[in-house]
Amino acid sequence: MNRKVFLTLVKITVVTAAVVWLRGRVDMASVGRVLAAAHVWYLVLAVVLYWLPVCIAGFRWHILLKTLSIALPLRALVCVTHIGQFFTILLPGVAGDDGTRFYYISRLAPGRVRQACSTVLLDRILGFASLFILTTICIPINWRVLEAQRATRWVGVGFLTAGVLMLTASTVFLACKKAHLERLFAKIQTVSGRFSFITELVEVASAFAGNRRRLCLVCASALVTQVLICCAFWSAGCAVDIHLPLWAWMSFVPVILVAGVLPITFAGIGVRDYLLFLFLGSVAPVAAGADQITALSLLMLLCTLLLSGIGGLVYMVYKPASKIASVAAVVP
């Protein structure tokens, strides 16, 4: 069976199972009433907060490329990140976003394709690292609530462990002298010579070893991105009267975001619903009912679809082919 067809069938199965599961747990008429009574301004704020990270992602990518002396307009990169959101709905996991960026960057920087594409991978790695680091900061604050269930306790321990490791690695990278890092990178390139993508990532890391201020800027913007997404969940929760402290959302929304990259569903349907029930069931067993949690999940799905719609509009309008010559001219 064709891999694409298989993944599509898997996603349809997961979405169907999620719908059946939800119908057995909630009264959809009650969910409709919750949505009808939702606070509009909180919902508008959630949409804005969900959209801002896309613009920040374009800025983050701009800094990564600039460090490699690949000068591309910020506006073009923001357009490409918007288009990536559109294709995220159509393709599994992160393939839609990263695949779109691979395609456009190969056209915008034809003379530096491999180096430019490596920045997409590095940006993805830094994005995941920022998620784990955020949970490292917030999970200890929320631990008393998360330990109430075995599942949330183990997820918390796993994310906390990964976050500590990533935070330690980041600290070592920033603290080491450039000469020591260059020797380490040379050994890694020797060992992984058969894997070109690792070589490219090492070259990008070497460039940042001499410009750590930019690396800190990229990491800080990645962390801000994740905080904004958590704020979007908080705002959507307030829209349906789920009132939790922001730090509580920051302790489990990153788990939902990481699980959302699995290529097993459309727009996170099913995965997001299950995890919201899991975590909100332990964090707020009295304050958040099943109808409210389902309504929250539907609102976040709406935010995702709106973001995808904006990306679709940009895709129809933005045509980079005419810009290649002028952009490539500034690339060394």
pLDDT for the residue numbered 50: 93
Helical ranges in 192-288 per DSSP H: 196-209, 212-239, 246-259, 271-283
Distance from C-alpha of 51 to C-alpha of 91, rounded to nearest angstrom? 20
Burial label, 244 (beta-carbon count in 10 A; 0-12, 13-18, 19+) = buried
Nearest by Cα to 255 from 229, 224, 289, 235: 229
Distance from C-alpha of 328 to C-alpha of 79, rounded to nearest angstrom? 17
Question: Is 60 exceeded by the pLDDT of residue 20?
Answer: no
Q: pTM of the prediction?
A: 0.80
Distances (CA, A) of 110 to 36, 185, 204, 247: 50, 26, 18, 43
41-98 residue pLDDT tens: 999 999 999 999 999 999 999 998 888 888 888 888 999 999 988 888 776 556 678 8
pLDDT for the residue numbered 10: 54
pLDDT for the residue numbered 234: 93
Q: Where are the domains of the chain?
A: 3-128+216-320
Torsion angles phi and psi, residue 72, rounded to 5 = -125, 145
265-310 residue pLDDT tens: 655 666 777 778 877 866 554 456 778 888 888 898 888 889 989 9
Local structure of residue 322 (DSSP, 8 states): G
